[in-house]
Structure 1
């Protein structure tokens, strides 16, 4: 039973650290993190569920906090964060497939959900397909390109960084 308690503490610690890093990156790079054309650099962390299930709640909580601190409206806080959660869950589910599939779920979730938040929450009158394109490009840059760089940097040390208790 002792090991089970250690695993829970490790899981919560990893989730908290991932959330904190997500928030810091989002806030530090705020000019790129919010709006209809955004490249949220913290979304590169959406690759982390490949390494640890703790990344799923960590990314979700980090996104919620980032959206609150960024002054986002309630629908954005809710649905934008849910898009990150959906992406993280499906990245976790795809973790044993190709590393190139891992960035796909957050790209798709945000590309589909965020434009509707922009249109109906923020009243941005650009066509939804155009916003899907701009959000999708930003997600490909942050999740795809930067996420795979994060993957390459961490994969060699995955057992030391994301070990279990």
Structure 2
């Protein structure tokens, strides 16, 4: 087995494959199983970002924008839509009453739970013919990849 570190071109192909996966699946969930609904996919992404960032005080628009890799105005628009649909709620910042923070509502938590079930079912379907060891190894690699991502921030 060749244990040599892959050349940059080989990593680029793997990187392109990763981004094809992300691009394809990031907005697929509709909650109904009936076709692609980009707005519903955005609601999941923005609500997931708030859930990951909110802590006890709520998430800021700028933190969500950074998490999603979009500009502040785009994040603000997506957040406003998610608030209007009842997935998020705005609260006053505990440190600055002029600033608003965002928290996931019960409706948003239910939507995320449903989206997570769908994500797990898609993963199970796509890896159904893999061995249990391959699935576990791949999951471990994904966790390692995510840890490296967090360290890079």
TM-score by length of 1: 0.35
TM-score by length of 2: 0.37
Higher relative contact order (CA 8 A, sep 6+): 1
Question: Highest Rg: 1 or 2?
Answer: 2
The structure richer in helix per residue is: 1
The structure richer in strand per residue is: 2
